[in-house]
A and B are shown apart, each in its own frame.
Chain A
Amino acid sequence: MGWNVDSDYIRGIFPVLVNPVKRAYLALESWFNISFGTEWNPLYHLGTLSFFLFWVILVSGLYLFIPFHGSLSGAYESVEYITHDQWYAAGIMRSLHRYASDAVVITVLLHMFKEFASGRYRGFRWFSWVTGVPNLWAIIALGITGYWLVWDELAQYVAIGSARLMDALPFIPATMTRNFVAGEMTDRFFILIEFLHLLGQPLILFFMLWIHVKRLSNVNINPPRGLAAGTFIALLALSLFKPAVSQAPANLSTMPQTLQIDWFYLNVYPLLDYWPEGYTWVLTISITSLIMILPWIPPKKEGPVAVVDLDHCNGCGLCFDDCPFDAITIQARSDGKKFEKEVVVSPELCGSCGICAGSCPSSNPFRSSKTELKTGIDMPQLTVDELRNKTNEAIAAMDGEVKILVYGCEHGLNVKRLERNDTKGLRLICSGMIPPTLVEYALKQGADGVMVIGCRQNDCFYRFGNRWTKKRFAGERNPILRGRADRDRIRQHGGSETDKNAIERDLVKFRAELLELNQADEVSSEQLG
């Protein structure tokens, strides 16, 4: 089918490389799932974890601003005071400030890698990708000016290296590097860097982050509390165990022979000892440009977007609430029907996930059982009617004591791999596209149990497929799974391609439980009979 996303991965660049890399990443995720569970797994919260680290950096930075002396003569002394005299407060804050800054580079790089390896950077997601990559530049630039402010030998190295890089740019008219010969440096330049680090750069970064998440709905910038607490405790422990310290004070008459540099932020500077500044610019700009154009190499084949059928839409807005990408808007009714509102899909924002079809109350398979099932909002590539027909066919094709129908999303485990005589799999675009009434319908039509498998919990390809399905089944979000549906016969899971064995083990348990339920039902019906 046109919307088979697995084949999209294969069509992506480096076809041989991406899948093994993705598998390695999934293995790392699984390892973290063992200790953190899916709720706290840091790899599922890399974006929010980065935001949390920003808060740590911001708060510690504000504290450090109080004792810091922003002048050429006073900066180093004040940082020494912070580090040694007040080690128990400002010293710890300095270490937290530094190590959280290092950590954020790791989380942002992992965040980028994860989105790339999962294919979540192309198609309608190009905006988040293209606006995300420059954030890394902004973070690095912020870190560089931070190192400058300490005014030790490392700061001197960074200042001269940065000035050489700036001088290599054709649009910078004067030579900045000459400021860093003995006797030339003034407080004025230092204060400019201080202003940039304390106000200019953070404001620009926060504006860029706002743009980055602008196309998402229900944006969450806070990681789970347990993960935030664990990360903070770890940073605090590192700060106490290995406090951040300065190197020797800057001296523009000498050059340090060896230097300990922060490789997270200053990795470009050693290149300047071997390459001309222009080459370094060409290298970094080329890598950045290549990463930024990845969404179009090659262009992604997009699935058809959701289609609204006003004859079956009452403008209830459930699809508007559930859309993960703000692709649905509500407007005044345009067809003269008695309802006040109607929904409209923005094709350029639609991710073609089908979560809206799952949320529509009209997607009820018990309606018009003899005729085609029409719903208010549907996916042309896999309509709710088609889903109902496939459900009927799968149930009819099953044979055995316990019949299990497994619905699975295209981005998790391929449920066709679980099939046997008594178990059939149906693939969905996203687990969130399954209307709860369809589960109830499947049980009514003869399935003994229904299992719904999405992506790994908290790692849904379409952000909210797993979460909304879980809430709908638990009766916490409309449309809810009705009370009459037997919950013991319904399972919901998250799992990727590498989780087949774990899911199969659970399927065996589920089969045994269903057998017991069937036997108990038989006994009770005999007693009643």
Chain B
Amino acid sequence: MFGLRNKPVRYLLQAFNYSVFMALIWYFATEPSIRILADDEAMITIAFAHAGDLREPCRKLSNEELQELAPNMRKPEECPRERSPVSIEVLLDEQRIYRETFEPPGLFQDGSIDVYYRGKMPAGEHHIEVKMDDSVRKKGFNHSIEKNISIDPAHILLIEFDSVKGFSIK
């Protein structure tokens, strides 16, 4: 009951159906393309891991306290595990573009935080300022960097932090 008996027409129609199927694949395998950045846009990325300062300072143990401990447990200092939250702020041409406070992870709030942020920014010359407060024992931002930068369209401005070298902007 179904199906054409004329073989050439039948195969021709099959070819047409296969062509439609393949055209569908061809088109959606690449199109429509997506626009990620405008012609005059660049990106800013902040990416680093950092452990905040200890909430309480380490305390030196007295001789009496040390004697009470087993010989293999006698460390001269006792340090609390809990760390400070870390606040980060980024200003681009004096406009705040990012601000976030991270609580230290872990059961004892003693882990290091992972920072990852990415956002769009206009390409060209800018003044950038990055500040971080990682200690409840010190007032205000205790790490910062300021820099005049020039960034090309489609490039990524990368902000990193190293506990020894401090902030870097690449």
Contacts and interface: CB of A to CB of B under 8 A. Distances in A.
Interface of A: 30, 32-38, 40, 98-99, 102-103, 106, 157, 164, 167, 173-175, 177-178, 181-182, 184, 230-231, 233-235, 237-238, 242, 244, 252-264, 270, 273, 456-457, 493-495, 499, 502-503, 506
Contacts of B36: 157, 255-259, 273
Contacts of B45: 181
Residue of B34, B43, B105 most packed against chain A (CB within 10 A): B34
6 contacts: A98-B29, A102-B29, A167-B116, A264-B29, A499-B1, A506-B1
A259 B35 CA distance: 7
B1 A502 contact: yes
Residue of A33, A35, A260 most packed against chain B (CB within 10 A): A35
Residue of A157, A252, A260, A506 most packed against chain B (CB within 10 A): A260
Contact of B47 (A98, A178, A253, A260): A178
Interface stretch (B56-64, B80-88, B138-146, B150-158): B150-158
Interface stretch (B10-18, B66-74, B129-137): B10-18
A262 B2 contact: no
B155 to A, nearest CB: 5
Contacts of A494: 1
Given A174-B114, A182-B170, A34 B47 contact: no
Contacts of A106: 21, 24-25
Which secondary structure characterizes the binding site on chain B?
mixed
A35 B114 contact: no
Contacts, number: 135
Contacts of A493: 1
A51 B95 CA distance: 56
Nearest to B14: A35
Residue of B22, B31, B37, B114 most packed against chain A (CB within 10 A): B22
Contacts of B25: 99, 102-103, 106, 238, 264
B42 to A, nearest CB: 8
A36 B1 contact: no
B108 interface: no
Chain B interface size range: 35 or more
A233 B14 CA distance: 12
Query: Which 6 A/B pairs are nearest by Cβ-Cβ distance?
Result: A37-B3, A35-B13, A175-B114, A234-B18, A33-B2, A260-B30
B22 A235 contact: yes
A262 B29 contact: yes
A84 to B, nearest CB: 18
Contacts of B38: 257
A58 to B, nearest CB: 18
Nearest to A265: B29
Residue of B1, B17, B24, B39 most packed against chain A (CB within 10 A): B1
Given A175-B116, A254-B154, A457 B30 contact: no
A178 B39 contact: no
A518 B25 CA distance: 55
Contact of A258 (B22, B26, B34): B34
A255 B26 contact: no
A177 B2 contact: no
Nearest to A107: B21
B28 A264 contact: yes
Contact of B22 (A234, A244, A273): A234
B22 A178 contact: no
Nearest to B45: A181
B148 interface: no
